[in-house]
Structure 1
């Protein structure tokens, strides 16, 4: 089965997924907002700013024209930062309305919208007609573009209220190094993909401070407990957090040098200032914005998330990292399986 698909977002993940789809035999148009990047992809089949050593399939066609990108496609894959999701969705929706097209909408974006705290599926629901939004497929799990680029074996989750659409997406992506599993728990998959970025910043901070593997394992495990508590309160299936978009994504994001969130935390742990870290990163660090959303959601739902709260205070209130660690360690003893605490 060969399909026409538009990939929106020419960063590292968008470029690698476009390449994967092209190599799977599909017709791929890759849309971005940089004329220089589009020209580089089309002329040299590289995207050196994001992936210095990667060769993009010559079958991938990069473009700056959104309308031509969307013409006649059977699916649209969003791979853009959370902050831009609503902006781009507002541009896509009227183009589809004008043509009457009804492609499957897929999102590989992981985050929560600032101020509204909305998940990606809710943003799409605001901007697209119900007949398109209800079939949205969320693409999430433990994956770094750099590893997929080298055909490292990768397994992800595709979640949708319409399992038929999820299975269609599963079929067009799968190959001998890329395997997908379906799930109908949109809430859990989206929250797992967003909230793990906060914990990953914490894991980077610990590494930057020189803490060892015991400490990192404790952070990841108790971080998962916090993600699960909030997710369950918001209607997620608890088992989702034991899967690829839960513990799987948390592990890879909290332990890999490819993780922007981990690298941000590592720099903070070494004493760098947040503004300097973000300025030098060159890419969006989703966990910084998500930390604020998680803090507000925890208060709204009356859920205890002490690790996430400490990370929030370090990022937004200039709290001393070591003081926050001491506070966490001096909390009164709890039962491990008490999901309310």
Structure 2
């Protein structure tokens, strides 16, 4: 089957004076999926969103959004997308209901009252619908802002850190809505600071570092790049060198030593390493062991490893994703 991409960019570049914010951004997001865009502060995530939503014009490169050229068909792109940015776009002097009806009229949506009522219910805002939005909590304002972006049922929804600062209940509600949207065929591009959020929602992740996509893949694929984390705690600090030697041999990577905890850790390149084998090998080496553990990698591990400037891979020739 040929994959159809809702978002496809090649070599996007953007400068702000002497700052090179994007240095050739290659991104492919399949229709009806969630793509999580992760990266350290200043990596270029928000700039990428602003370019892909026509708010900025690229200095170089090209992109197609929902089948339309980002620059030559910018108006057609805008008709097919919606954006929820880091700052809400709602009017605090209007009620929640009035805000949604206003957006519906601006976008010439038929049945504005019914659409507004449905979205208020979907986002748990019915009881507060007729109160001025300035009195809403931060979570309620964020939900109302997302509801406003869905007035037109966009083909592609851009969410730029939509749950930053929200309480767990509001965050879970937005997660549920994102899942519902992709189930209905909407494509979602999500930038987030919460690795747990990307792990739960994203079908694929694009890890952005220094203005480029450093690595792409599903959460499971990215975790597999890191390997299993092994840690041992010894009874005597004098045993730390021996424990480090064992982990070096078993994992094939340089161990890190924490003398305050009498602990040694390393990332196992061999996925077949088991806890019993680790414990037996330590015992055979005469290491006085207090504790040993193997932990599956998290996206935090992926993030730290692939954005430290030494482990970044730039898949410029990834033909199957660019096809």
TM-score of the pair, normalised by structure 1? 0.27
The structure with the greater share of residues assigned to strand is 2
- The structure that is helix-richer by fraction is 1
Structure label with greater radius of gyration: 2
Q: TM-score, normalised by structure 2?
A: 0.28
